[in-house]
Chain A
Amino acid sequence: GQQLNQSPQSMFIQEGEDVSMNCTSSSIFNTWLWYKQDPGEGPVLLIALYKAGELTSNGRLTAQFGITRKDSFLNISASIPSDVGIYFCAGQSTTSGTYKYIFGTGTRLKVLA
């Protein structure tokens, strides 16, 4: 199935550092979502973006909806050990009118205390 390209694929950072990851697509999306998944669990929604250029924060997390509507990025400031996990972006496609969500390949984050 279709997937979004997410980078980096994985990253190791020191506690307290800022983290940045992005998601790109060849298609235009109307909605961008960012999720975090812990092992053996379902993804948890972090931030939802609905308009091109929109910048939204949720605590230490900030995400932006790219102007071209083909990309989005997520920043995590002052990382802490519990930030470890896999981060997925998801874009909403209106193909065939189903408004389904296409997921990125994921960024695996590891935080070193």
Chain B
Amino acid sequence: EAGVAQSPRYKIIEKRQSVAFWCNPISGHATLYWYQQILGQGPKLLIQFQNNGVVDDSQLPKDRFSAERLKGVDSTLKIQPAKLEDSAVYLCASSLEGTGANVLTFGAGSRLTVL
């Protein structure tokens, strides 16, 4: 079984530029999560999708972050414009369904450095 695929693995941009991350979950997983993990901290949920609908985006800074999962499969997370404090690893995870009672499978993450 293929894992959760993420790209790019690394990205360096200057502040005020934009960046996009892509995630392809495990086939058949209805629930997809995007997390932000700042160095030394635990992951923070940014957004949770159930198929192509948003379940929870309460911690997504909507003035600069956006995410979509149009066909209920892969997803993109965009930051525009980026700030220095957005430097972090952006993790994508998926599970069969979103009650929290299924195993989470994580991608390798996308490390963003904002200069």
Q: Do A and B bind each other?
A: no
